[in-house]
Amino acid sequence: MGNFFVPSSKRDFCVFISLANKKSYSYGMDVKIHYCHLGYAPSASKSFLIAFSEDIPAKAVKFKVLDVSSHAVFEGEAEKLCYLDYTDEILFNGDFSAVRVPGQYRIALDGFDVQSHLFDISGNWLADQFKANIKSFYLQRSGMELPERFAGAWMRPAAHLDAVLDFHPTMNREGVWNAHGGWYDAGDYGKYIVNGGVSVATLMLACELRKNSVFVGGTAFKESFEQPASLLDEVRFELEFFLRMQDDDGGVFFKVTPYRWDGFVSPAESDASQKRYILGKSTSSTLNFAAALAQAHRVYQDVDADFAAKCLVAGVRAYLWAEKNPEVDWPHNTEGSGGYGDPDLGDDFFWARAMLYRELKKTGGVNAVCENATSLAKLNIAELLERIENQLPTDMDAYLPTYGLQWRSTQNLAWFALATMDCEWTQKARMAFKYTADEMLRLQEEDPYGLSIRKFIWGSNGDIANHALTLYLVYMWFSDEKYRVAAMEQIEFIYGRNPVDVSFVTGSAWSSPKHPHHRISHSDGVEEPVPGLVVGGINEDRQDVHRDPHYLGESRGMSYADEQCSFASNEVAINWSAPLTAALLLLCE
């Protein structure tokens, strides 16, 4: 009859193991396969996790990789890793990197009635997702019609033209302002400079590094339903809104806001129901503007020299205003739109200085300012450069690179500017990123999911994507494959290899969010949400518990709910989509 395992405890009754035929049978145990739901590139490493809700008396679990005809193309053993406290899982790790033939496959566990869904081994899924993400920004456009030809089922009429806006009553300012265009920031209908600034800067970073990509723009780009705008065209749409937000004195308004929070109504219904206003003018919004517009000069100078020069002049004017007004606070009114308050602006000054320094050190940048800034005819660029150059060493000492970029911590964009120019600090900047990436690798090695974050914050998916972006930059500069592999691990987490088994980008997979906290998706009459939007993801702080979302578990790593009410875990935002879009572009080419 063979040898049989005799259970010695209540826990052991969960699994009955036959030592004779090496098979396992689960009785009531929760067993899950965590893998990248979209798939893997043929030449890439391919790993997955098996999660048990109870411990099992085995050091390894056998698995098979099956093709679409259910033929086994690979057999392996998943090795036991650990008990993970932030998910309450017993984890095993499986690897099938040897499977390289393109096609569709699924993973099946021996002895357990558990299989994955089909996934692809293909070199295309990263590029496909990148294109979907660009289109998501197009579908977030404000103030213009989205025709069926490009938007498909998500077509809508123009609304929120924002061309004749009153100043918010708290500003005590008469007159009206034109703030047409730009992207809706998140799941609401506000438009912000601070969050928009870090978003366009991240996307322009990708444009700089992949300037010859057909998706970035140029004469080879062709509009289609799939891709109505190139990445450069889409970023320019937001930058033109930025230019409209600059006041006559060079300072920049903070945001466009409705007077109160909208319900889950369409843009047209929102437009008809309440007024919208310009609100605030602050040092933080002005510095974000100055930095982003300086970077725009680099990105667009070979595409549209006049537009590039206009951006640089606007950036210089903004920086000069911020120098004279270094502590103008953000508007604290949050009835109708988000706050985006930032008590420390040193990193933003660093970012603006570094981007301006990079552009103004070039003869072309100086000429662009001198030839196009009639109002700044007497501006001494040499003096401005000297001030910036004297301050940058202090900035570098005070604001080292972080693991990833956030709208509150923007210094990585400053270091990126220094790392991509020919100056005395270029190598120092690249080494600073490398030290940061090496620490991230250490953190990833300690985590079964390959994460370098240690807390799931609001917008954790944006945090994770930004970590991937940092790792890829170091791979690009130092040509060490381990950084690229580590970056890809972070992206795979977002697309399904996570404890809640969700591919966190709408429309990306069978498991993608169906009920994001997104007003357009819940008011357009289309069953499927607007595609290509990354939701915030796991958020252990659960700031929305008063709305009673049904989180997937009590542990920190289960703090996600695919429900409209869960703004803390299921809202969308451009500053989370931007680093994911950038990372996808860099990784797919």
- Sheet with 119-121, strands from edge to edge, namely 31-34, 47-52, 89-95, 72-84, 60-67, 103-109, 119-121, 39-40
For 125-152+160-503+569-588, the fitting CATH number among 3.30.1330.10, 1.10.569.10, 1.50.10.10, 2.170.190.11 is: 1.50.10.10
Domain boundaries, the chain: 11-121, 125-152+160-503+569-588
Residue type, 588: C
Residue type, 554: E
Q: Are 555 and 88 in contact (CB under 8 A)?
A: yes
Cα separation of 224 and 156, whole Å?
Answer: 18
Q: Are 377 and 313 in contact (CB under 8 A)?
A: no
Angle between helical axes of 363-372 and 346-360 (0-180°, round to 10): 100
pTM of the entire predicted model:
0.93
CATH superfamily of 11-121: Immunoglobulins (2.60.40.10)
Instruction: Tokens for 128, please give them.
Output: 């496909």
Q: Are 51 and 499 in contact (CB under 8 A)?
A: yes
Q: Are 570 and 457 in contact (CB under 8 A)?
A: no
Cα separation of 358 and 392, whole Å?
Answer: 12
In the block, which residue shows the tokens 């970056």?
487
**If you ran DSSP here, which 8-state letter would residue 22 be given?**
T
Angle between helical axes of 460-478 and 426-446 (0-180°, round to 10): 120
Phi/psi for 451 (5° steps) reads: -95, 145
What pLDDT score was predicted for residue 575? 97
pLDDT tens for the 589 residues of the chain, in order: 233 233 333 333 333 333 223 334 444 689 999 999 999 999 999 999 999 999 998 899 999 999 999 999 999 999 999 999 999 999 999 999 999 999 999 999 999 999 999 999 998 999 999 999 999 999 999 999 999 999 999 999 999 999 999 999 999 999 999 999 999 999 999 999 999 999 999 999 999 999 999 899 976 788 888 889 999 999 999 999 999 999 999 999 999 999 999 999 999 999 999 999 999 999 999 999 999 999 999 999 999 999 999 999 999 999 999 999 999 999 999 989 999 999 999 999 999 999 999 999 987 778 777 777 665 544 678 889 999 999 999 999 999 999 998 899 999 999 999 999 999 999 999 999 999 999 999 999 999 999 999 999 999 999 999 999 999 999 999 999 999 999 999 999 999 999 999 999 999 999 999 999 999 999 999 999 999 999 999 999 999 999 999 999 999 999 999 999 999 999 999 999 999 999 999 998 7
Hey, do 11-121 and 125-152+160-503+569-588 end up sharing a CATH topology, with the first three levels equal?
Answer: no
Cα separation of 157 and 147, whole Å?
Answer: 8
Cα separation of 82 and 334, whole Å?
Answer: 44
In the block, which residue shows the tokens 């020299």?
305
**CB burial string 303-319: b at 16+ within 10 A, e below:** beeebbbbbbbbbbbbb
395-397-399 Cα angle (round to 5): 65
Instruction: Tokens for 253, please give them.
Output: 């308004």
Cα separation of 107 and 65, whole Å?
Answer: 5
Cα separation of 301 and 312, whole Å?
Answer: 10
Non-local CB neighbours of 560 within 8 Å, separated by 6+ positions: 500, 502, 537, 538, 539, 551, 552, 566, 569, 570
Instruction: Give me the count of residues in the chain.
Output: 589
Q: Are 340 and 407 in contact (CB under 8 A)?
A: yes
Cα separation of 104 and 122, whole Å?
Answer: 9
DSSP assignment of 435-471 equals: HHHHHHHHHHHHSTT----SS--TTHHHHHHHHHHHH
**If you ran DSSP here, which 8-state letter would residue 587 be given?**
H
Helices (H), 325-380: 346-360, 363-372
